[in-house]
Structure 1
Amino acid sequence: MTRTDAAAVGRFRELLRIATVSMPTDDPAADDTAFVAFRDAIARLYPSLHGVLERDIVGGYSLLYRWRGTDAAAPLVLMAHIDVVPVVAEEWTRPPFAAETVGAGEEAEIHARGAVDDKGSLVAILEAVDALVAEGFTPRHDVYLAFGHNEEIAGDGAQAIVAVLGERGVHPSLVLDEGGAVVEGAIPGVQVPTAVIGVAERGVMTVRLTARELGGHASTPPRDPATARLARAVLRLHRRPFPTRLVPPVRAMFETVAPHTSGPLRPVFASIGVTGRLLAKVFPRLGPELNALVRTTAVVTELSGAAGVNVLATSARASVNVRLLPGDTAASAAARIRRVIGDRHIQVEVESASEPSPVSPWSGSAWDRLAAATASALGGDVLPTPYIQLGASDSRWFTSISDHVYRFTPFHLTRAEREALHSHDERIRVGSWLRGIGFYRDLLRAS
């Protein structure tokens, strides 16, 4: 690792130590100190960038930078978010905000909340831009850096940034946010590393199920209490999942990887037009990620009942997290949930909903730019492929001002590293992160 690389890693670790945990503004524990400290720290650590780029503070703590190019038309937008999810410190092997390194050289791991989600991308973008500015580079087209501050709580930071850009008449030719990564073994039979680039993302909605009764003392329960009726509704929903199907981006993904697939799956993927329906039925048995690629998912995440152990619940509630595959809508999903539950005494309410995003093309100049940066910085053997982003991101708001919105985190991540997202022991290997800087640098040079 060079001295320059070591300095970049040092800046990354310093920013990871700032605990920018997002909390709702009405939470009594909410504190903006970390977000102000983070903003001040990047201004100090990246003087070249801050000497040239224009900065706006949007929506309280979100940051929007403009790097003027020789042409203001068709700009590039690079996105990331400042905030991170909370931690349960005792579950971590190492302190979650110490940013300790384990090992040596490029295989060393940096352990910290936000190492991948999403300060890994944010700091890699800063490193790439700051270095290019220091070299005297000027992009051909304008470049915007859009860093929301409350993505993890579905906040309004990114929406505020989009509103600013919309008012200024900005129509990006390419928007890139967090999303898929360079993975191996995620697609059965595929023999090469794949860069799974999200061309769309599933919608997200919260549905509340409520069963009501008169209440009373638990010593004299009714024949069919609210908790029992709610439990039946939850089980019905679990036992009758949404039907499987292959949406066009997923079909295109398997067509892309087919030539690089070994064994009997190669002809299966190559003839996806014929085998697709069968594959969609098989994939749910092969793991949660493949299951989520081929169906709208619905899972109960919260349950609540009475206020005490000896009290009958006057209302029993369940929260259902629904992720909508493109082609489904919040209205159609809510209607199906009501049919599956089949109990008119169970109240089904949609508390919030965001529809699936439009699908961006996986051909053309914007896609080609992403593919070229992937090959040059991450390895010529890495295969770019379209993908449906399984989780929600801030990028969905940008589809109102751009037809080319993509979701890709330019790091080679193992399964264990991916599973640590939003969990304990989040980490990233130094070499993987440094190559991500190269990806952003190459993409900027082509912009």
Structure 2
Amino acid sequence: MTSPDDEALARLRELLQIPTVSHADESLIDWQPFDDFLDAVERLYPRVHEALEREVVDGHSLLYRWAGADVADPLVLMAHLDVVPVVAEEWEHPPFAADVVGDGAEATVHARGAIDDKGALVAILEAVERLVVEGFSPARDVYLSFGHNEETAGGGARAIVALLAERGVRPGLVLDEGGAVVDGVVPGISVTTAMVGVAERGVMTVRLTAAEAGGHASTPPRMPATVRLARAVDRLHRHPFPVRMTPPARALFATLAPHTRQPLRWVLGHLAITGPMVARALTLAGAETNAMVRTTAVATELSGAPGENVLATTASASINIRLLTGDSIAGALAHVRRAVADPEVEITLRHGSEPSPVSPWRGEQWRRIATAVADELGHEVVTTPYIQLGASDSRWFTVISDHVYRFTPFHLTRAERDALHSHNERIRVDVWLRGIGFYRALIAAS
């Protein structure tokens, strides 16, 4: 006889096996898996669909409303059903088989989307299904917002926000994917932390383009377009954005300071004095801590000649820039122009969004999250604010709510975090099951 946890795991595996892969070029998307996913959710969670109102928005995004005793200040729980593409040959287990490997506490589900972000989506549905079965009725309205293209355009979430705004809905608390429960993410601090994003960095793409006449590769000019482009990329790399300690970063270290030993406790407790030194040290401590204290820029896509023996008439590079709270698109463009310092390299903004507003890390909404963390994930876990390093669909909700947070209630190792958007994405079964309890507690407290 199967247990409720076994049944929940079976539903997770079934939904992970549906390859809802999104692409920036939507003409490349196979929409049948998305239709299959929506149908499977409706079949697997019958009580959710009896108790909640369901709408399909923008083709494949899902919006649910669970009517509460009060329509004011509703709770919005977010996730997304699309996943990034895979290179199947790189995986130890087939990326859409959702194989369970190991036993007991070591049992792990291997699949694209296990963490990003079907794990959260299914955990939310499991929490709601169980509460409905128990006869629970929320004090406030509860919305479930599941976007279908978070990994690309985010159009589904934007359409949901527009719909809610049109209806006059102003959420009291929005929770999307983001930080996790982690160990040792900050050097010198060993306490387990629940990293709750109170803001997220802006994101923009800049295109660097160098041009030349072209011709045969056997007679290259003194400064080929590819060399000019390479020099521009190198200059930008050697002139990074300035280091700065933002208010959320200061709050992070102030929260963690009491859990450290001297002299680090004094250093983190006196950031008004030590802030610049700490910020510089964080740039050397790793990629994650570096991204906490500066706007980052990195060349991603490169293009040049169409053949190996042909001079490129144009050579170009896409620069992905993540804007730290307090920085701006205009300021970042000015920095890129100063760093490249070459009028022969064209610099164009492809697209961009400014950093999100900062949500408060005090007050009722914050306490609801922190209490659910302590009660379901461990009283030893310290809930702390931080700046979300990646972009999420939650950024669209900041126009209708002042309390938008980013937290995924899973205790993840560094290796598990590194597998996001890479091969061998996976989540431990017991970690995922505890996440269901978090969402259940948060809904019950709402």
Normalised by the size of structure 1, how large is the TM-score?
A: 0.98
CA deviation vs aligned residue, 1:122-148 (integer Å, no higher than 9, x gap) = 000000001001111110000000000
Deviations along 1:13-57, whole A, 9 cap, x unmatched?
Answer: 111111111124543x32111011111111111110000100010
Q: Which residue of 2 aligns with 1:81?
A: 80
The separation in 2 between residues aligned to 1:340 and 1:191, in whole angstroms, is: 38
Question: Match for residue 251 of structure 2?
Answer: 252
Equivalence map 1:161-176=2 (5 Å)? 161-176=160-175
In the alignment, which residue of structure 1 is the partner of 2:315?
Answer: 316
- 2:9, 2:251 → 1: CA distance? 37
Contact 1:189 1:263 survives alignment (8 Å): no
Counterparts of residues 185-334 of structure 1 (less than 5 Å):
185-334=184-333
Structure 1 residue ranges (4+ consecutive) displaced by more than 4 angstroms after TM superposition: none
- Which amino acid is the alignment partner of residue 184 of structure 2? G
Separation in 2 of the partners of 1:106 and 1:76?
A: 32
Contact 1:76/1:143 (<8 A) preserved: yes
Q: How does 1:130-149 map to 2 (within 5 A)?
A: 130-149=129-148
Q: What's the secondary structure of 1:79's corresponding residue?
A: strand
Residues 387-426 of structure 1 mapped to structure 2, 5 A cutoff: 387-426=386-425
Given the alignment of the two structures, is residue 370 of structure 1 paired with residue 369 of structure 2, yes or no? yes
Distance apart, 1:268 and its partner CA = 1.1
Maintained 8 Å contact 2:21/2:29? no
Query: Does 2:352 correspond to 1:360?
Result: no
Percent identity over paired residues: 66
SS across alignment from 1:374: helix
> Partner of 1:208: helix, strand, or coil?
strand
1:369·1:443 contact (CA, 8 Å) conserved in 2? Answer: yes
Aligned residues: 446
Query: Do 1:23 and 1:30's aligned partners in 2 also have CA atoms closer than 8 Å?
Result: yes
Structure 1 stretch 217-226 or stretch 371-380: which is displaced more? 217-226
SS in 1 for 2:233: helix
Maintained 8 Å contact 1:191/1:262: no
Task: Let me know the Cα RMSD of the aligned residues.
Answer: 1.1
| 1:22 match | 22
Cα distance in 1, alignment partners of residues 7 and 377 from structure 2: 21
Shift of 1:254: 0.2
Unaligned runs of 5+ in 2: none
**What runs of 5+ residues in structure 1 fail to find an aligned partner?**
none
Q: Determine whether 1:55 maps to 2:49.
A: no
Report the 3-state secondary structure (helix = DSSP H, G, I; strand = E; otherwise coil) of the residue aligned with 1:151: coil
CA distance in 1, matches of 2:444, 2:58: 30
Deviation at 1:312, TM superposition (A): 1.2
Cα distance in 1 for residues equivalent to 2:395 and 2:208: 27
Find the aligned partners of 2:154 and 2:441 in 1 and give their Cα distance. Answer: 31
Kept after mapping to 2: 8 A contact 1:83/1:152: yes
Q: Please give the per-residue CA displacement for 1:160-191, whole angstroms capped at 9, x wherever unaligned.
A: 00011000000000000000000001111223
* Of 214-223 and 180-189, the range deviating more from structure 2: 214-223
Tell me the TM-score normalised to structure 2 length.
0.99
Tell me the secondary structure at the aligned position of residue 256 of structure 1.
helix
Query: Is 1:39 matched with 2:38?
Result: yes
Describe the superposition over 1:285-337 as per-residue Cα deviations: whole angstroms up to 9, x where unpaired.
11000000000000000111111112111111010000000111011000110
